[in-house]
Amino acid sequence: MGKTLKIAVIDAFTDKPFSGNPAAVCLLEEFLPKETMQSIAMEMNLSETAFVEKTEESGYFNLRWFTPTLEIDLCGHATLASSHWMLLSGWAAEGELIHFSTKSGELRVKSEGGYLQMDFPLIPTFTDSHPEFTDQLFGKRILHAAQLRKNWIFELEDAQAVRDLDPDFGKIAANSEEGFIITAEGDQEYDIVSRFFGPNVGVPEDPVTGFAHCALMDYWNQKTGKTQLKAFQASKRGGELFLEKHDDRVLIHGKAVKVWEGELTF
């Protein structure tokens, strides 16, 4: 007799189905081995699958994230998706502070005013010059570059350059540990725009990337002094985020919508 596991797909950083960034979420009533979680993530074949496990303390949960190929340290959109599914499933209540124990320390999420507010660590960035890409990135002029753990940020000359960039995933994979974040000053209603390419974590282009904005908040704060940013990730699906810097933390505000729920038997 096989096991049956409830699972949902949640679109994060959007309030419209089939936009934002989809994540699969499993709320675990019992322990699953890491190998099984990785197999489920491979089967779901989304950028991330999240696994939430209850602890003995009310309001405190363990949270792990897997791409189709490996476990990762931090994922914003799958945390948002997990919190949304927990609220819908009765694992959490409106206005309650949810505490997640993760590989990146404790993360806190709260539903407030129609948004989910995530309290994440600020990711430090350091101005640097990439050894391979110094002046141009796939035909677009680089204004500045910065390094963060396992990734690079490239600032391009305008938002249209970010939207139009045609990445070479093989070259990105060969020249980064995880991937590249590209960004520019925003146009229209946004302060900044960005895209994220992560071929080395099994995600060629991520639709909307929470962890990248923990680094982008630091990068743009150093550059402009701003502590609040309205951000847009210019992938094909697209998504918007509202960022607030508080010392070494970033508050990320976003919405989410459930698009599918079902069961896995294994």
What are the structure tokens assigned to 58, written together? 């009310």
| Beta partners for residue 111, in sequence order | 116
Who contacts 8 (Cβ-Cβ below 8 Å, separation ≥6)? 24, 25, 85, 258, 260, 261, 262
SS3 160: helix
List of residues 6+ apart from 201 with CB closer than 8 A: 67, 69, 70, 72, 178, 179
CA atoms within 13 A on the CB side of 211: 22
Could you tell me the two tokens for 180?
């590249």
Active site residue 96: no
Q: Could you count the other beta carbons within 10 Å of the beta carbon of residue 199?
A: 20
Catalytic pick from 43, 48, 106, 112?
A: 48
Question: Who's near 208: CB < 8 A, 6+ residues apart?
Answer: 12, 13, 14, 20, 21, 77, 233, 235, 237, 238, 239, 241
Q: Distances from the Cα of 109 to the Cαs of 99, 154, 158, in angstroms?
A: 7, 29, 33
Distances (CA, A) of 162 to 155, 167, 198: 9, 10, 16
Question: Which residues are annotated as catalytic?
Answer: 48
